[in-house]
Structure 1
């Protein structure tokens, strides 16, 4: 792929009720187990050049190679997720490409004319950026760094999904500093 870096690795769904969404995905679609964090610790968060303190709940699970992310906004901080909900949408909001070469890939996309709208960090080497690419719901592009503990977490989630038997469908995020 010339513009992006490998395959789409994640589908991000913005939902109004993350607990109900995890139950639906687990019980109806057989996707799990879910790794759930009721308040993701996002640092250096920026939206359209301004800094904010978002409170988002996130749940992650894999269906084969693709990770599914469920996101619920818990406060009214400006974000692309809030914009999506305010436009009357729920469901698929973004697709993510994962990278271990974040700085280089970000520079390449910026040189191609992509404009960063929302960015932040989750733990060490867990930066992310969303680009102003929404032409219709679900087409926002995210570039997500997976070089450190966040990448190890994503590996754990995928490995656990491969032989999941339906038990223990919702699990707490492990501490990224221990991965």
Structure 2
């Protein structure tokens, strides 16, 4: 539990091959089913205050109440994901905290001196997310994500599916992006 952000709700892994990563999590870790979005469409995305045309694929699954996110960036646009990979890392890149009052949490973090590494929006004004530049140690980037819109119910669907997953349909393609 973070005294600033609350409970960690998601661990985000930046990977070079999302299909191989899903296979590993399914076969070795026994985690699934995975909700896979081949090309996530952002409403907007900024890296260090500059617009960036990042393209990415995302897969989501749960292990208990903790959501696991796999991200494969599909282009060379500036992002913290690209910086992470360019530094020779692959694997756990961020921990995400979710909020129904995103703006208040965002303002609190900025007020405490956190700096934005990258941020964006998916699915309208209740789909914002921000990654703070806390990557001095791999795996410690802090993300906050607004779940007051369509993401909240989708994330709950992913969690519920994991609770009763029997190993069938381990990868489920999703048409629209929800991350």
Category of TM-score, reference length = shorter chain? over 0.9
Q: Quick one: structure 1 residues 176 and 93, their matched pair in 2 at CA, closer, same or farther if it must change by over 3 Å?
A: closer
Superposition pairs for residues 1-179 of structure 1, below 5 Å? 1-4=2-5, 6-124=6-124, 125-173=126-174, 175=176
| Distance in 2 between residues matched to 1:68 and 1:160, nearest whole Å | 13
TM norm structure 1: 0.95
CA contact (8 A) 1:150 1:176 kept: no
* Unmatched 5+ stretches in structure 1: none
Cα deviation for residue 121 of structure 1 reads 0.7
* Distance (whole Å) between structure 1 residues aligned to residue 40 and residue 107 of structure 2: 26
**2 CA distance for matches of 1:81 and 1:174?**
23
Give the CA deviation at 1:154. 0.2
* SS of corresponding position for 1:157: helix
TM superposition outliers: structure 1 runs of 4+ over 6 Å: none
Deviation track 1:70-125 (CA, whole Å, cap 9, x = no partner) reads: 00011000000000000000000000000010001100011001011100011131
Structure 2 CA distance for aligned equivalents of residues 22 and 159 of structure 1: 18
Task: Name the TM-score, length of structure 2 as normaliser.
Answer: 0.95
The answer to whether the 8 Å contact 2:8/2:96 transfers is yes
Distance in 2, matches of 1:140 and 1:120, equals 15
Distance change >3 Å, CA 93–CA 176, structure 1 → 2: closer
What SS does structure 1 have at the residue aligned with 2:137?
coil
Write the distance in 2 (CA, Å) between the matches of 1:122 and 1:137: 25
Q: Whole-Å Cα distance in 1 between the matches of residues 51 and 166 of structure 2?
A: 42
Q: What secondary structure, in the 3-state scheme, does the structure 1 residue paired with 2:85 have?
A: helix
